[in-house]
Amino acid sequence: MSTVDLTGRVALVTGGAGGIGSAVARRLAKLGAQVAVLDLDAVGAHRVASSVGGIAIAGDVSDPATMPAAVAQVERELGRLDVVHLNAGIGGGQAGVDDALDVARYRKLVGVNVDHVVYGLCAAVPALRRQGGGKVVITASLAGITAMPSDPLYTLTKHAVVGYARAAGKALAGDNITVSALCPGFVDTLLLGGAKEEFAAAGFPLLTPSDVAEAVQSVLADGGPGEAWIIQPGGRATAYDFRGVPGVGGGQLPPPVVLGRV
């Protein structure tokens, strides 16, 4: 595993009150960073922040005002921003393939899993530019690179996140801002709910939050712009090798870059 020295750097972790987020906050602090922990659970955010000598921020990441306010608070109280882990996420909880769609739950899912990533990156970029660059790691999922029929809506959101990270990473590379996605397999967190017992009964191994935090460290050390990294139980974090798509006429000529058009 590659290491990275974050001494003197400041990191912001969303969904940092528990699970993956709390493990990452502790890992970043161990690497030398001052850490801001953002979560809807104010008590949990304070608990984790206190344990790492950082600051706690309470807020709903699906609210467009939360991420700009959080970044402003981080700069005001900690002086800068260098690393952002956009980690907050929730499960779909419904199929989303028939007319029984609960629209309110669907909008909440998209708000947390997708909108929060867009709001977070847009809010963080000016702060990262002020430091001459920085690192952004977005928690996606293996559901972002393969189909998960048991939860199509969750799959939708994570595919969106991976696509956004790949494109945003290339768009921001010239600013020395590295945007990467991390796609863990199934992780032993509350997000699994009752399915944890099914995994145990089947003898299916789960990642721990610490495994994912270690993978985040690897991405911070070695991740390239727009890469999506995968981590599975018993394996090492590695960049996923996406297949290219055929160009014009079956060749390799890419389309021209024309912003705002398709």
Residue 85 Rama label (left phi>0; alpha psi -120 to 50; beta): beta
Residue 258 Rama label (left phi>0; alpha psi -120 to 50; beta): beta
Is 167 in contact with 150 (CB distance < 8 Å)? no
Q: Give the SS3 label for residue 193.
A: coil
In whole angstroms, what is the distance from residue 107 CA to residue 188 CA? 25
In whole angstroms, what is the distance from residue 154 CA to residue 150 CA? 9
**DSSP class of 2:** -
Among residues 106, 119, 154, 240, which one is catalytic?
154
Residue 154 falls in the annotated catalytic set: yes
Nearest partner of 105 among 117, 93, 114, judged by Cα: 93
What does the H/E/C string look like for 199-262?
A: HHHHCCCCECHHHHHHHHHHHHHHCCCCCEEEECCCCCCEECCCCCCCCHHHCCCCCCCCCCCC
Count other Cβ atoms within 10 Å, centred on residue 65.
11
Catalytic residue list: 154
